[in-house]
Amino acid sequence: MSTIERETIEIENAREVVAANEFKANEAATKAQSLKAECEREVAEAIPALEAAIDALQVLNQTDISLLKTIRVPPNGVRLCMEAVCILLGEKPAKITDSVSIHYKNNPHNRKTKQ
């Protein structure tokens, strides 16, 4: 077999490998594009909720926070909201016992006390 025929066979084999790799790369690119589009849709849905939450936080003032501190047993909605705030701030809510109940209550106002 001549050198040219041998090199031609090697080149054909290399072309097959390159074509297979190109096919795999195109599949990965297609999957990446669809994932990107899905992520962009989810972000577009989440941005209005984020902006609404930021606007809601803008109206809170120190008096509102002080009022929450005076409530002996805050409603579940307030407790849930304050737990979320603690999570966002990266602080663990303190667990304290309620004198009325033996259950533990989350008290985000008392974060600096017993944890």
Say how many domains are in the chain: 2
- Residue whose token pair is 């944890």: 115
What are the pLDDT digits (tens) for 35-87? Answer: 999 999 999 999 999 999 889 888 888 888 888 778 777 788 888 888 888 88
What is the distance between the terminal CA atoms of the chain, rounded to a whole angstrom?
Answer: 82
In a domain, 43, yes or no: yes
Claim to verify: residue 4 and residue 55 sit in the same structural domain: yes
Claim to verify: residue 50 and residue 83 sit in the same structural domain: no
Claim to verify: residue 19 and residue 47 sit in the same structural domain: yes
pTM above threshold 0.85 = no
